[in-house]
Chains A and B, each alone.
Chain A
Amino acid sequence: MAVLWSKLSAVLPPNEEEFPLQFSDKVESSVVSVLQQSRRQLYSDATSTDRTLTAQIILDLSWEKLNTGTWRDVDKEWRRVYSYGCLFKVAALCREHPSADEILQGIRTCDMGLLMGAAIMDNVLQVLVQILQEEVRKSTKEEEKRLKTERPRVPVIKDEQAVPRIKCPSLESFKSDYLLPLRPVILEATADHWPAFNEHPWSVEYLRSVAGCRTVPVEVGSRYTDEEWSQTLLTVNEFIDQYVLNRVSASSLTVGYLAQHQLFDQIPELKEDIRIPDYCCLGDGDEDDITVNQNFLVQVVGSKYIRLYSPEDTDKLYPHQSSLLHNTSQVEVENPDTERFPEFARAPYLECVLQPGDVLFIPVQHWHYIRSLELSFSVSFWWS
């Protein structure tokens, strides 16, 4: 395992002098002194206990800063400090003959830094996690897989309300017929060339082999407006075991959803399996605010029932009043309370069952209701 450390340290600066630790005034000098202590310990023969202790102080403090105020307002400097904490912790874990479990902890630590921190030292955590993942892959065996087989109710799509389907339209006709008038449409045969359908067909087994030990955020609960809805961090393996294969009994009562997450930045191997739809080039650039973006939803595995409502009919959709949920309707779409929400029945909509290979164009600000009909993987592209 000393080989592992030589691979890891090759990615780090060769000595203390060349290891950058620059922060703005926002980071108090007492905190900087602890970071400097960690840096010193990295290049000295400190004990693993001491190194872990110092790294943990950095993590505990920056974690508190990351949880202070709204996420949007958290100063990027504290996210950088958190990433440094992760870096020093990984170095401490994987220095001296790490066990398999310590390597997995190291991967989890890198993932925490990638999820909550900000890139440091040319995104060193991304580089380190690839090295550690390689180490784990060498020792993984094949397992037998068992998938959910029951098929829940599949809605019948009425023609008058169906989202139109069209095969590979030209850029110009997509723009004039659908993009400019903001009309939903399903583009068929548009994603057929993706490696995710060809050389690396996506499946539960594939996802495990590529990203099994990586930590990702998972939403637990059928609806995010439910009281019991929550978010948690799981490795992809745990997510598959608990929520996909239903191996853990209690979890079969709840639904888990790996969502709203920049998975492809965190796991670049998966990014190689997809392609950005050509039609995205029709946008004019600014992607900062997700709510003013167009969306392509590409179905890769399984199927989803989707209903779309126009922003013009917002008044019939009874959005929540609070600022947190003002873009969420109070209505249970497939079982509406007609007494509380009488206008809802009069709101026009388009619906579809999205199948593998389908690319659904969801125009900006369109309300969408989505129910997976079976195990489902989709990829979402936000553009404008």
Chain B
Amino acid sequence: MRWFGFGFNAFGQICVHNELSKDEGRDTVSDVKIMNPTELHRNVDKSVCGRNKCLKTSQIRASWSRRVWLHVDGDSCVCLAGFGGTSVVDSSGCTDTVLSETHLTLAFSDRIESWDLQKKEKTPAWSMEIQPPTDTSGPPLSLPLVPGGYIATKPPFYRSLSPHLKAKSLALGAEHAILLSATGAVYTWGLGSHGQLGHGGLTSEEEPRAVEALWGMPMKHVVTGGWHCACISDGADLYIWGWNESGQLGLPSQSLRKGHKEESSQQAAADCQSASINPGGKPLEGEKDKEVFISIQAFPALLDISPSCEIRTVSCGSRHTAAVTATGDLYTWGWGEYGQLGHKNLISTDEPQCVDFFKEQKLYVVDVVCGPWNTFTAVGEEEVKLS
């Protein structure tokens, strides 16, 4: 499995800068904003992490200033890169990781540990023991879920969850959370000011509340971005909701269009209500109609990534979204000013676009993981199935 990264790289979390320019404190645009998908080098220091090829699965997680790479292959190996340099964490037996701006959380078969990345301490800031699963029938819980609850991004780390939710997977945004239950139902809670809870309003929820609009449609995968959520149904459809200020929902975004207009227009006053040219080439309805823009989508919306296709997996950054289709293509949309959309430019877009790089290189995309301002993509053989 090979990984490629693009987007925000100010800390070398995708690829390390030219050493010379780093010393002089010079950050050139091409170092900070990686516009072209770039392959990640797995062993920065061969003597420490002697992996040349990761035959089985590997996992990447990214925070704003770092990236962590877990090689699950016999003796597992956790490699950290970005702010604070590259290092290998003592982690044999690690099965799962979660990375926030302040903490790295590792899951082992018998314990969970959270390490404070801002302090160089010899022991984890927090840890808990877990019972190794007695039955091996079901898949192990993936972080941040742990038996009985989940691990939050800031103290108190352990938060309990009601067993009746039957939590199967959980994703945490800065101020909201989305949970997928074993029945395929979706629950959200936290702040709702940007419609990110999907209940149709802007009010917050203290406790997990079922997203009723999805009732009766079992979901198999849920993710969050900064102010939006996405999920994939058993039928491989993509549903999305929340804030659309940068087009991260793939719906027409007025602030995005206005921003593009201001950059290209010569005049001071912008007429932003007219039926303007639709870059997607889709015909506008009616004559001189106002184009309908959506800044907040408070109920889940079905997003059709044309040409219509099954969605295999999805991930969200702060203000962008990336999806992998069953045919091995990667589509991205939303905020693109750091190159995180991978379209070889720094343009944000509210229309899902295929990342041509992988098609051109005849690479089959199998997974995508977004950091807040960047995107990591795994390519592999068509036969490889995601666990």
Interface residues of A (CB under 8 A from B): 28-30, 33-34, 37, 40-41, 44, 46, 49-50, 53-54, 57, 60-61, 64, 67-70, 237-238, 241-242, 247-250, 253, 322-324
Q: B29 to A248, Cβ gap below 8 A?
A: no
Minimal beta-carbon separation of B135 from chain A (angstroms): 40
Minimal beta-carbon separation of A223 from chain B (angstroms): 18
Q: B101 to A248, Cβ gap below 8 A?
A: no
Q: A50 to B27, Cβ gap below 8 A?
A: yes
Asked if B217 is at the interface (CB within 8 A of a chain A CB), the reply is no
Asked if B271 is at the interface (CB within 8 A of a chain A CB), the reply is yes
Interface residues of B (CB under 8 A from A): 10-11, 25-29, 32, 64-66, 83, 101-102, 118, 174-175, 191, 193, 202-203, 226-227, 268-269, 271-274, 318-319, 337, 372-373
Cβ contacts under 8 Å, B102 to chain A = 28
Minimal beta-carbon separation of A27 from chain B (angstroms): 10
Q: B174 to A57, Cβ gap below 8 A?
A: no
Interchain Cβ contacts under 8 Å between A and B, 22 examples = A28-B65, A28-B101, A28-B102, A30-B64, A30-B101, A37-B27, A40-B25, A41-B25, A46-B25, A46-B26, A50-B28, A53-B27, A53-B32, A54-B27, A67-B227, A69-B175, A69-B191, A238-B269, A242-B269, A250-B272, A322-B203, A323-B203
Q: A64 to B25, Cβ gap below 8 A?
A: no
Cβ contacts under 8 Å, B25 to chain A = 37, 40-41, 44, 46
Q: A57 to B191, Cβ gap below 8 A?
A: no
Cβ contacts under 8 Å, A68 to chain B = 174-175, 226
Cβ contacts under 8 Å, B83 to chain A = 29-30, 33
Minimal beta-carbon separation of B30 from chain A (angstroms): 11
Q: A249 to B26, Cβ gap below 8 A?
A: no
Q: B273 to A250, Cβ gap below 8 A?
A: yes
Contact of B274 among A40, A41, A238, A250 (CB under 8 A): A250
CA distance A21 to B337 in the complex (A): 27
Cβ contacts under 8 Å, A54 to chain B = 27
CA distance A33 to B101 in the complex (A): 13
Cβ contacts under 8 Å, A249 to chain B = 271
Main secondary structure, interface of B, reads loop
Known: A70-B193, A250-B272. 19 other contacts (CB 8 A): A30-B11, A30-B65, A30-B83, A33-B83, A49-B29, A53-B27, A53-B32, A60-B337, A60-B373, A64-B226, A64-B372, A67-B227, A68-B226, A69-B174, A238-B268, A242-B269, A247-B269, A250-B274, A324-B202
CA distance A289 to B319 in the complex (A): 34
Cβ contacts under 8 Å, B226 to chain A = 64, 68
CA distance A180 to B271 in the complex (A): 50
CA distance A49 to B193 in the complex (A): 35
Minimal beta-carbon separation of B104 from chain A (angstroms): 13
CA distance A57 to B337 in the complex (A): 10
Cβ contacts under 8 Å, A61 to chain B = 64
Cβ contacts under 8 Å, A40 to chain B = 25
Cβ contacts under 8 Å, A248 to chain B = 269, 271
Q: B318 to A64, Cβ gap below 8 A?
A: yes
Tell me the nearest residue of chain A to B204, going by C-beta. Answer: A70
Evaluate whether A250 and B271 lie within 8 angstroms (CB atoms) in the complex, with A28-B102, A57-B32, A69-B191 already known.
yes
CA distance A60 to B274 in the complex (A): 29
Q: B191 to A28, Cβ gap below 8 A?
A: no
Cβ contacts under 8 Å, A322 to chain B = 203
CA distance A33 to B39 in the complex (A): 26
Q: B32 to A28, Cβ gap below 8 A?
A: no
Cβ contacts under 8 Å, A241 to chain B = 268-269
CA distance A82 to B182 in the complex (A): 42
Minimal beta-carbon separation of B346 from chain A (angstroms): 11
What are the nearest 7 A-B pairs in CB distance? A30-B65, A30-B83, A248-B269, A250-B273, A68-B174, A250-B271, A28-B101
Q: B191 to A70, Cβ gap below 8 A?
A: yes
Cβ contacts under 8 Å, A28 to chain B = 65, 101-102, 118
Cβ contacts under 8 Å, A33 to chain B = 83
Q: B26 to A29, Cβ gap below 8 A?
A: no
Cβ contacts under 8 Å, A237 to chain B = 268
CA distance A67 to B296 in the complex (A): 14
CA distance A86 to B193 in the complex (A): 26
Cβ contacts under 8 Å, B26 to chain A = 46, 50
Cβ contacts under 8 Å, B203 to chain A = 322-323
CA distance A67 to B372 in the complex (A): 15
Minimal beta-carbon separation of B203 from chain A (angstroms): 7
Minimal beta-carbon separation of A40 from chain B (angstroms): 5
CA distance A29 to B84 in the complex (A): 10
In this complex, which of A34, A64, A241 has the most chain B Cβ atoms within 10 angstroms of its Cβ?
A: A64
CA distance A67 to B174 in the complex (A): 11
Tell me the nearest residue of chain B to A67, going by C-beta. Answer: B227
Cβ contacts under 8 Å, A247 to chain B = 269
Minimal beta-carbon separation of A117 from chain B (angstroms): 19
Evaluate whether A57 and B10 lie within 8 angstroms (CB atoms) in the complex, with A50-B26, A64-B226, A323-B203 already known.
yes
Minimal beta-carbon separation of A120 from chain B (angstroms): 22
CA distance A37 to B31 in the complex (A): 15
CA distance A33 to B64 in the complex (A): 13
Cβ contacts under 8 Å, B193 to chain A = 70
Minimal beta-carbon separation of A99 from chain B (angstroms): 14
